[in-house]
Structure 1
């Protein structure tokens, strides 16, 4: 009998396949140490970036459809044991959790729980100003509003920064400095597509950086 490989699905709630590949590769090493494979899937419909509450809300349906479609069509020897929703607003996470008999982790959820551990004060740095209220609400949803120092934003629009990685890096570094000035002991880089920049920012030593995707991988390992 063929042995199945326990696999974690990383679902990208935007339609950018390159972002899916980048995020999948980022979580692969930590999952591999726990004997877990990883498979990235991309939603079939929606924008290439979730930048406002309307697109974030609409992404919930697309995430549900993508996960249901994948689970209805098993792939060879892969046995799906967990799902990571790889957008900082966690669209569809709550509904998937009630629908599936396996762990469902959002990168927003995981980064908030990691940053707030032991009652630490934390902030968020992001390039999506229209999602600031949604991110604050997500912090409250996980019960950590009192230790949250707030959201600091880049000066430029998210699509501008997506096209200019160096500018994105510089402006997010400034946002991290702002979080530290607000009293944050650690800073979440809030956005799945910001994962590469988050890793670079961690090397600057401005503050402890909480990377959403590795945080989600660690939470999956703990749950599985």
Structure 2
């Protein structure tokens, strides 16, 4: 069986467990996905300083995982911390959830908005979109509350949903990308209530990581 490592670049083991469950559900039983948590660092990556620290930790842990028989690594932090540098250091494939989410959101040239809860990462997210070639498709990064709202699942879902509707009605978004691995459950909750496709980045990342490992598991459209 093909083994993929899901690497959570923050130090929240509970979040790792939830994201690993989401990834497994997205790809089915043909692939084994194992979750790993950063040994130190912030519980939530909320600013660019934390993003850079997470990048260093992801590179260190990723190099170790590359020697453990995995076919690929999924960096499950929305800023894709350390992804580009890690790719240059190891021989197995490395995928990021922002990379994968933007790829799905912009399918067929769709214009999309990113809805997230980390205002201090807005600039970094926009730079990432440009670096990945999606600058012309990304029409906005909407901030749905703040990091604190993540502790209340019901409030989080309501806040994300309101921002999604605003992105569609005010900006004409043709797809919505939810910007954060820890927001995966809320993304799935609100998706049926949004009139355009809602892309959940952990599932998108798992699908892309599988494709790069040679396993086709279907795609989000």
TM-score (norm 1): 0.90
Offset from partner CA, 1:161-195 (integer Å, 9 cap, x none): 12211111111111111211211100000001101
Find the aligned partners of 1:153 and 1:71 in 2 and give their Cα distance. Answer: 35
What is the RMSD of the two structures over their aligned residues, measured on CA atoms?
Answer: 1.3
Aligned twin of 1:117? 107
CA shift, 1:95, in A, is 1.2
Q: Which residue of 1 aligns with 2:97?
A: 107
How far apart are residue 152 of structure 1 and its match?
A: 0.8
Q: Secondary structure at the match of 1:88?
A: coil
Deviation at 1:51, TM superposition (A): 0.5
Number of residue-to-residue matches in the alignment: 212
Alignment correspondent of 2:118 = 128
Is residue 2:28 matched to residue 1:32? yes
1:222 to 200, 207, 211: 211
Structure 1 regions of 5+ residues with no counterpart? Answer: none
Distance 2:91 2:130 in 1: 26
Which residue number corresponds to residue 165 of structure 2?
177
> Is 1:68 matched with 2:63?
yes
Q: Please say if residues 126 and 175 of structure 1, whose CA atoms lie closer than 8 Å, have aligned partners that are also in contact.
A: no
- Report which of the two structures shows the higher radius of gyration computed on alpha carbons: 1
The Cα shift of 1:53 comes to: 0.9
Cα distance, 1:204 vs. partner?
Answer: 1.4
Distance 2:32 2:137 in 1: 35
1:207 is aligned to 2:196: yes
Are positions 1:162 and 2:158 aligned together?
Answer: no
Determine whether 1:198 maps to 2:190.
Answer: no
> What is the Cα deviation at residue 28 of structure 1?
0.7
- Where 1:63 maps in the other structure, the secondary structure is helix
- Quick check: 1:23 aligned with 2:19? yes
- SS of equivalent to 1:152: strand
The SS at the match of 2:88 is helix
Aligned counterparts of 1:154 and 1:187: Cα–Cα separation in 2: 13
TM-score by length of 2: 0.92
Task: Give the CA deviation at 1:68.
Answer: 2.4
- 1:140 counterpart (130, 138, 142): 130
